[in-house]
């Protein structure tokens, strides 16, 4: 799958460096031409000799090395690469490329190359969470030719538990293949619901919620950037329609259901329900504005149709992904919804936390499917959307 692809693998200082040997082996097995560059920190964890044996090429370690420059000089190496993969990418390395430094061979190559760069962060969970690291990641996320693959959550070499583990070599090799496959969702049709619904009480009033649409719109952009054809069914929001995404505006749950069904009727591989759909609507919509006459009033509500469950129940069902907006026992309630609505996957987020969930720039989620789960620590909704789309793509192809 990677025949003739030229991949420059950068190894920086971290215990996960031993896994990079397996990544190089997998890339070679897939047909890639691999060159390895190691920082001095990287060489403390794994030897250049190992990487040379696995890649079948000399390993580059120094910027000012006359012998290496006489072979393939550093600028030539930067031009040679189709893709640069830094695995593991340490906190120090991330800080240095974020600052645009060129104080060793690998940072210099990252500045000199025009190839896309993928970083696979690996570090202690506290270092990953640290504001300065997050600021560096956020700055790098603005670069359209720079991807951040991971990190995963879990037990760490130091005994801590949390986000900071490097993605496994198989996952990284999968991302590399996906990258060259015209975007990992090339040829897929994705339908996404986003934003709130409004349930009319009378001509001037409605029941709604705090959804801004940011999460759903970020998913639509991530799916589009991964090569998919995307249709977005959006409740009323204040953000512009993403370029290159067919956006259908609706208001109530019933109109959202109708638009979602129409979109799926046209053919759909992946359906993602990120909209905050009102569970109930007024039984009757008053034709005229209700007058303020009594001290108390009762509005009778009836249940709305469940959009995601309706799509999941279709004979021609797409891969169906729901969201679970919870305020307590987040994962347990999400697991219940995964089973009850017969979904392929559910993204659980805690909407009681002001930093994440409704109308915030960031989110934190646990994604569940039958037989597995993956957690994503606090990150921008855009980055989370890319991670969710990549996870969906890997579940579809597994």
CB 323 to ligand PMT: min, Å:
3
Question: Is the peptide bond preceding residue 88 cis, with omega within 30 degrees of 0?
Answer: yes
CB 314 to ligand PMT: min, Å:
13
Which CB atom, from 46 or from 272, has the smaller least distance to ligand PMT? 272
Q: What is the per-residue DSSP string for 187-238?
A: T-EEEEEESB--EEEETTEEE-----SHHHHHHHHHHHHTT-EEEEEE-S-S
Active-site residue among 110, 158, 268, 373? 158
84 near 115, Cβ under 8 Å?
A: yes
CB-CB neighbours of 314 under 10 Å: 14
- For ligand PMT, the binding residues (CB under 6 A) are 193, 195, 211-216, 253, 273-277, 279, 304, 306-308, 322-325, 337, 349, 351, 357-359
Residue 101 token pair:
């430094």
310: left (phi over 0), alpha (psi -120 to 50) or beta: alpha
Helix axes 105-112, 91-98, angle to 10 degrees: 40
Q: What is the per-residue DSSP string for 43-62?
A: HHHS-HHHHHHHHSSPPB--
- Phi, psi angles (nearest 5°) of residue 282: -60, 135
CB 226 to ligand PMT: min, Å:
19
Which CB atom, from 133 or from 304, has the smaller least distance to ligand PMT? 304
Which CB atom, from 180 or from 249, has the smaller least distance to ligand PMT? 249
CB 382 to ligand PMT: min, Å:
11
CB 196 to ligand PMT: min, Å:
7
Instruction: Give me the residue label for tokens 């979602």.
Output: 260
Counting every residue, how long is the chain?
A: 398
Which CB atom, from 26 or from 277, has the smaller least distance to ligand PMT? 277
Distance between CA atoms of 317 and 48, rounded to whole angstroms? 50
How many CA atoms does the CB half-sphere of 289 hold within 13 Å?
A: 4
CB 390 to ligand PMT: min, Å:
17
CB 109 to ligand PMT: min, Å:
37
| Pairing verdict, β 246-249 and 199-202 | unpaired
- Of the candidates 212, 163, 215, 221, the residue with the CA atom closest to the CA atom of residue 190: 221
Which CB atom, from 85 or from 233, has the smaller least distance to ligand PMT? 233
Residue 187 token pair:
């040829």
CB 246 to ligand PMT: min, Å:
19
Distance between CA atoms of 349 and 63, rounded to whole angstroms? 45
Geometric angle at alpha carbon 14, from 10 and 15, rounded to 5°: 120
Which CB atom, from 7 or from 272, has the smaller least distance to ligand PMT? 272
Q: Does the active-site annotation cover 158?
A: yes
- Of the candidates 359, 8, 394, 362, the residue with the CA atom closest to the CA atom of residue 184: 394
Alpha carbon 171 to chain centroid, angstroms: 14
Distance between CA atoms of 199 and 279, rounded to whole angstroms? 10
Which residues are known to be catalytic? Answer: 158
């Amino acid at each position: 799958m990677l025949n003739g692809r030229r991949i420059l693998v950068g190894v920086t200082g971290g215990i996960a460096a031993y896994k990079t040997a397996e990544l190089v082996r997998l890339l070679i097995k897939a047909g890639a031409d691999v060159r390895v560059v190691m920082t001095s920190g990287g060489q403390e964890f794994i030897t250049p000799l190992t990487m040379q044996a696995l890649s079948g090429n000399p390993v580059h370690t120094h910027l000012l090395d006359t012998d290496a420059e006489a072979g393939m000089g550093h600028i030539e190496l930067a031009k040679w690469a189709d893709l640069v993969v830094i695995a593991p990418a340490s906190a120090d390395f991330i800080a240095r490329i974020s600052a645009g430094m060129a104080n060793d061979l690998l940072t210099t190559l990252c500045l000199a190359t025009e190839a896309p760069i993928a970083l696979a962060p690996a570090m202690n969970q506290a270092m990953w969470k640290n504001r300065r690291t997050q600021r560096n990641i956020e700055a790098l996320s603005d670069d359209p030719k720079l991807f951040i693959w991971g990190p995963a959550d879990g037990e760490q070499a130091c005994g801590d538990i949390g986000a900071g583990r490097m993605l496994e070599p198989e996952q990284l090799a999968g991302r590399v293949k996906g990258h060259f496959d015209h975007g990992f969702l090339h040829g897929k049709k994705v339908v996404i619901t986003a934003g709130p619904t409004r349930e009319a009480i009378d001509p001037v009033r409605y029941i709604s919620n705090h959804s801004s649409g940011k999460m759903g719109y970020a998913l639509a952009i991530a799916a589009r950037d991964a090569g998919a054809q995307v249709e977005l069914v959006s409740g009323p929001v204040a953000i512009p329609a993403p370029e290159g995404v067919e956006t259908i505006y609706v208001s109530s749950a019933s109109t959202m259901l109708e638009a979602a069904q129409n979109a799926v009727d046209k053919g759909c591989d992946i359906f993602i329900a990120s909209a905050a759909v009102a569970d109930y609507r007024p039984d009757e919509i008053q034709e005229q504005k209700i007058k303020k006459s009594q001290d108390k009033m009762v509005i009778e509500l009836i249940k709305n149709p469940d959009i995601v469950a309706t799509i999941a129940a279709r004979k021609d069902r797409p891969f169906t992904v729901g969201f679970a907006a919870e305020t307590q026992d987040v994962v347990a309630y999400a697991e219940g919804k995964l089973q009850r609505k017969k979904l392929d996957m559910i993204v659980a987020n805690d909407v009681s936390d002001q930093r994440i969930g409704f109308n915030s720039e960031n989110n934190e989620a646990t994604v569940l499917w039958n037989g597995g789960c993956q957690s994503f620590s606090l990150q921008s909704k855009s980055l989370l959307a890319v991670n969710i789309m990549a996870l969906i793509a890997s579940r579809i192809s597994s």
